[in-house]
C-alpha cells in the first residue's frame, strides 16, 4: 500500500495507474537514507508560467475538466471550461467509449492523435491502461495506414521536418531551435524510404517517429518533453505521392549520393551541438542502401542505433532464446533459414551469430548454421558482387529460389520471414517443418499484418499445434483441438524502450550490440512457463513491458558503469530506485506548489525607521 503524502512532510504520492505504476512505494519515514534518496531522485514540481487559454492549449499541462476549482480560479481558466468536474479515470472512460464506438482503426488513430494534441497525461493514461488493445492503433499495423493517409489526417505539428534545402549545420540548428522543448534527450529520425513493409512514403513517414516515441513514454516512462520526432525529407521516388494533391512533402525524386550524406552529417552535428553528445538518436525505416551504411558510419561517433537492424535482431533473438526453453536445444544447435536478406534479416542473423559464439561456436561455424534467401534465391558462393555482410553467410549449395527445396535440403529448426511476401510460408513448407521438428520455429515477421509470410492460424493448423510461432504484427488468438493458442508478437517494443531508458538516464555515450544482446536475454528470461507451455506464447505479455523496460535499463546501467560508457555522476547507489523515481507518471499532478510558512520573526517588516530630517520641509 502506498502511504499518503500527508503522513510525512515533503513526500508526495506517486503514480498508481495499473500498468504505469513502476515507481516504488514511498520510503519509510523512519529510514533517513531512503528518504534522502527519494528527495534527491524525485522530479520537482514547478508552477507553470502559462495561464488562461494558453494553459489549456499546452498538452503537457492541460487536465481538461479534471482541474480543481482552486486551480481554475488561480490559473485563470475558471469559466473557460464546462462547470463539470471529473477524475482522470472518468475522462479515460469517456475516451475508451469513443474509441470502441469508432468505425475503424484509422478513426481510432485520429481520436488518439487529437487527444495527444490536447491532453498528454490522459493520452498516456488511456494507452498504458489499455496497451494490448491500443498498441496496434498507435503503432503497427495502423500507423502504416495512417502514414499512407497522412495528408488527409494532418492537423498539428508532431515533429520537425528537415529537407535537402536546409543542408547546413546552421540551417538545421535553426530548425531544431523552433522545437518548443529544450531538454531533448531522445530523437527518432527517418527519411521515409522504407516505412514498415509499405515502401517509400517520403514525408508521410513522420508517423513512424511519432509512434515510436509514444512507445518510449508508454512502455518505458521516458518523459514526453525529452522526445523529438524528425523526418529527413529528401524527396520520394513514389510517383503516386508525387502526383497526389494531398501530399505534404517535397515534390521531387529522392536525392542520393554526396548531397544526401552531407545532409545526414549536418543533421547529426546540429542535433548533438544543440542537445549534447549524449543525446540518443534512433534511426528508423531507412532504405536498405543506407541503413547499414549509416549505422557503420555513426555508431562509434554518436549515441545512436538503428532499430530496424539492432532492435529487430534483439527481439527475434529473444524469441529464439525463449523457444530453446521448449525445444531443450541451444540456439547454436539449430539451423535457421531466413526468407529475406535485407538490413533487418541480416541484423538478426548477425546477432544469432553473436549468441551462438557465447555458446561455444566459432564465428565460421555459427555462420554455417544460418541460410539467407533474398529476391534472387539462396545466397550461395556462386553469387557475384555480394556485400561483405552477405558473403559470410554464402553457402556451397546449388542456386535455387525455391524455399521448400531449401527447407527439404537444410532441414532447419526454424524459418524466419522478413520478406514482406504475404503467404510465402505455404502449407507445404509449414508441414515440412513439422515433419522435421517436434516443435518447429516459424517466425512470420513482416509488417504490417497483410505482408506476413503466414498467419498464426496457418502455422498452428498445419503443424497440428506444435509450432512455436511469432509475428511482427499482432494476430488474434487461435483455438485448435480444444486448446487456446496466444501467438507472440516479435515487436521491437519489447527492446527499444528499455534500451533507450537506460541510455538516457545514465548518459551512456555509445550504444553497442552487446546492449541489445543483453536486452534479448532479459526478454527471454521474462517469459513465464505458463505462457510457453499453456498458450505457446514466446514473448511476455504486453502489459508487462514497462516493468521489463525497468529491468533492461538496470542491467544496461550495471554493464555500462563496468565498462566506463555510463557518464552519469555520481553513480546511483540503487539504480532501480533511481529509475523508478525518474520515470514519467500518467497520474495528474498538482500544478500549483503548496505554500509554506516562515518563522514569525523572519516575517517582520524589516527594521524600525529612524527619524529622518526632511531638509526641504525645514526651509522657511
Whole-angstrom distance, CA of residue 208 vs CA of residue 284: 8
Whole-angstrom distance, CA of residue 575 vs CA of residue 580: 9
Active-site residue, selected from the candidate residues 63, 158, 185, 212: 212
**Residue 588 annotated as catalytic:** no
447 is in an annotated binding site: yes
Active-site residue, selected from the candidate residues 38, 109, 124, 139: 139
- 3-class state of residue 614 by DSSP: coil
Closest Cα to residue 578, out of 587, 569, 589?
A: 569
**Residue 212 annotated as catalytic:** yes
Interior/surface letters 597-619, b for 16+ CB within 10 angstroms, e for the rest: eeeeeeeeeeeeeeeeeeeeeee
571 is in an annotated binding site: no
25 is in an annotated binding site: no
Interior/surface letters 229-261, b for 16+ CB within 10 angstroms, e for the rest: bbbbbbbbebeebbeeeebbbbebebbeeeebe
Give the 3-state secondary structure of 338-398: EECCCHHHHHHHHHHHHHHHHCCCCHHHHHHCEEEEECCEECECCCCCCCHHHHCCCECCC
Residue 171 burial by CB count (10 A; 0-12/13-18/19+): exposed, middle or buried?
middle
Closest Cα to residue 190, out of 176, 204, 179?
A: 204
Query: What are residue 119's phi and psi, to 5 degrees?
Result: -150, 95
Q: Which helix (H) or strand (E) holds 323?
A: helix 312-327
- 3-class state of residue 190 by DSSP: strand
45 is in an annotated binding site: no
194 is in an annotated binding site: yes
Contacting residues for 199 by C-beta, under 8 A, at least 6 apart: 238
Contacting residues for 211 by C-beta, under 8 A, at least 6 apart: 138, 139, 143
Q: Which helix (H) or strand (E) holds 417?
A: strand 414-417
Residue ranges with strand state E in 475-547: 478-480, 483-485, 488-489
Whole-angstrom distance, CA of residue 513 vs CA of residue 507: 17
Helices (H) and strands (E) counted in the chain, each on its own, are 27, 14
Is residue 418 a contact partner of residue 338, using CB atoms and an 8 Å limit?
A: yes
Whole-angstrom distance, CA of residue 558 vs CA of residue 562: 6
Q: Which residue has the cell 543542408?
A: 167
Alpha carbon separation from 399 to 375, 376, 383, 420 (Å, rounded): 12, 9, 9, 22
Is residue 486 a contact partner of residue 457, using CB atoms and an 8 Å limit?
A: no
The pairing of strands 186-190 and 280-283 is parallel
491 is in an annotated binding site: yes
Residues involved in catalysis: 139, 212
Q: Detail the residues annotated as belonging to a binding site for (S)-malate.
A: 194, 447, 491
Summarize the annotated binding site for a divalent metal cation as residue ranges.
Answer: 284-285, 308
Amino acid at each position: 500500500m502506498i502511504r499518503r503524502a500527508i503522513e510525512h512532510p515533503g513526500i508526495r504520492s506517486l503514480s498508481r495507474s495499473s500498468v504505469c505504476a513502476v515507481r516504488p512505494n514511498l520510503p519509510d519515514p523512519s529510514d533517513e537514507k531512503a528518504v534522502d534518496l527519494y528527495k534527491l531522485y524525485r522530479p520537482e514540481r514547478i508552477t507553470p508560467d502559462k495561464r488562461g487559454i494558453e494553459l489549456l492549449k499546452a498538452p503537457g499541462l492541460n487536465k481538461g475538466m479534471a482541474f480543481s476549482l482552486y486551480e481554475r480560479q488561480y490559473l485563470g481558466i475558471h469559466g473557460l471550461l464546462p462547470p463539470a468536474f471529473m477524475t482522470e479515470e472518468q475522462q479515460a472512460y469517456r475516451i475508451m467509449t469513443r474509441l470502441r464506438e469508432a468505425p475503424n482503426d484509422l478513426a481510432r488513430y485520429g481520436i488518439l492523435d487529437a487527444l495527444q494534441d490536447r491532453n498528454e497525461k490522459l493520452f498516456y493514461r488511456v494507452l498504458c491502461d489499455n496497451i494490448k488493445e491500443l498498441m496496434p492503433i498507435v503503432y503497427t499495423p495502423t500507423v502504416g495506414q495512417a502514414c499512407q493517409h497522412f495528408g488527409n489526417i494532418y492537423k498539428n505539428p508532431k515533429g520537425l521536418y528537415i529537407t535537402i534545402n536546409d543542408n547546413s549545420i546552421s540551417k538545421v540548428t535553426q530548425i531544431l531551435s523552433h522545437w518548443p522543448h529544450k531538454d531533448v534527450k531522445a530523437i527518432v529520425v527517418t527519411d521515409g524510404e522504407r516505412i514498415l513493409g509499405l515502401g517509400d512514403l517520403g514525408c508521410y513517414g513522420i508517423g513512424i517517429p511519432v509512434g515510436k516515441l509514444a512507445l518510449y513514454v508508454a512502455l518505458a516512462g521516458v518523459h514526453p518533453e525529452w522526445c523529438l520526432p524528425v523526418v529527413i525529407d529528401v524527396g520520394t521516388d513514389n510517383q503516386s505521392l508525387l502526383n497526389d494533391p494531398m501530399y505534404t512533402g517535397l515534390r521531387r525524386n529522392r536525392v542520393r549520393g554526396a548531397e544526401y550524406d552531407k545532409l545526414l552529417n549536418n543533421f547529426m552535428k546540429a542535433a548533438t551541438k544543440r542537445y549534447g553528445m549524449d543525446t540518443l538518436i534512433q534511426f528508423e525505416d531507412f532504405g536498405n542502401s543506407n541503413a547499414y551504411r549509416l549505422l557503420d558510419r555513426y555508431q562509434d561517433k554518436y549515441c545512436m542505433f538503428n532499430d530496424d537492424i539492432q532492435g529487430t535482431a534483439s527481439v527475434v533473438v529473444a524469441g529464439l532464446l525463449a523457444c530453446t526453453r521448449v525445444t531443450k536445444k541451444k540456439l547454436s544447435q539449430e539451423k535457421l533459414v531466413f526468407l529475406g536478406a535485407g538490413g533487418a534479416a541480416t541484423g538478426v542473423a548477425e546477432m544469432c551469430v553473436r549468441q551462438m559464439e557465447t555458446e561455444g561456436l566459432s564465428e565460421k561455424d555459427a555462420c554455417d548454421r544460418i541460410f539467407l534467401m533474398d529476391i534472387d534465391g539462396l545466397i550461395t558462393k556462386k553469387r557475384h558482387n555480394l556485400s561483405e555482410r552477405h558473403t559470410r553467410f554464402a553457402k556451397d549449395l546449388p542456386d535455387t529460389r525455391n524455399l521448400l527445396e531449401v527447407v527439404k535440403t537444410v532441414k532447419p529448426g526454424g524459418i524466419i520471414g522478413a520478406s514482406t511476401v504475404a503467404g510465402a510460408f505455404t502449407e507445404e513448407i509449414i508441414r515440412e517443418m513439422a515433419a522435421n521438428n517436434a516443435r518447429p520455429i516459424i517466425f512470420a515477421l513482416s509488417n504490417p499484418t497483410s505482408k506476413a509470410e503466414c498467419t498464426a492460424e496457418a502455422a498452428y493448423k498445419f503443424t497440428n499445434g506444435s509450432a512455436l510461432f511469432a509475428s511482427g504484427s499482432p494476430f488474434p488468438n487461435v483455438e485448435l483441438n480444444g486448446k487456446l493458442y496466444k501467438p507472440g508478437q516479435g515487436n521491437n517494443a519489447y527492446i527499444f524502450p528499455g534500451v533507450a531508458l537506460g541510455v538516457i538516464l545514465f548518459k551512456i555515450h555509445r550504444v553497442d550490440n552487446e546492449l541489445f544482446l543483453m536486452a534479448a536475454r532479459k526478454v527471454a528470461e521474462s517469459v513465464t512457463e505458463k505462457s510457453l507451455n499453456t498458450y505457446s506464447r514466446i514473448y511476455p505479455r504486453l502489459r508487462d513491458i514497462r516493468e521489463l523496460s525497468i529491468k533492461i535499463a538496470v542491467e544496461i546501467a550495471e554493464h555500462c558503469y563496468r565498462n566506463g560508457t555510463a557518464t552519469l555522476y555520481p553513480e546511483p547507489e540503487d539504480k532501480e530506485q533511481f529509475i523508478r523515481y525518474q520515470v514519467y507518471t500518467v497520474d495528474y499532478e498538482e500544478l500549483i506548489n503548496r505554500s509554506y510558512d516562515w518563522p514569525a520573526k523572519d516575517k517582520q517588516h524589516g527594521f524600525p525607521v529612524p527619524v529622518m530630517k526632511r531638509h526641504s520641509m525645514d526651509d522657511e
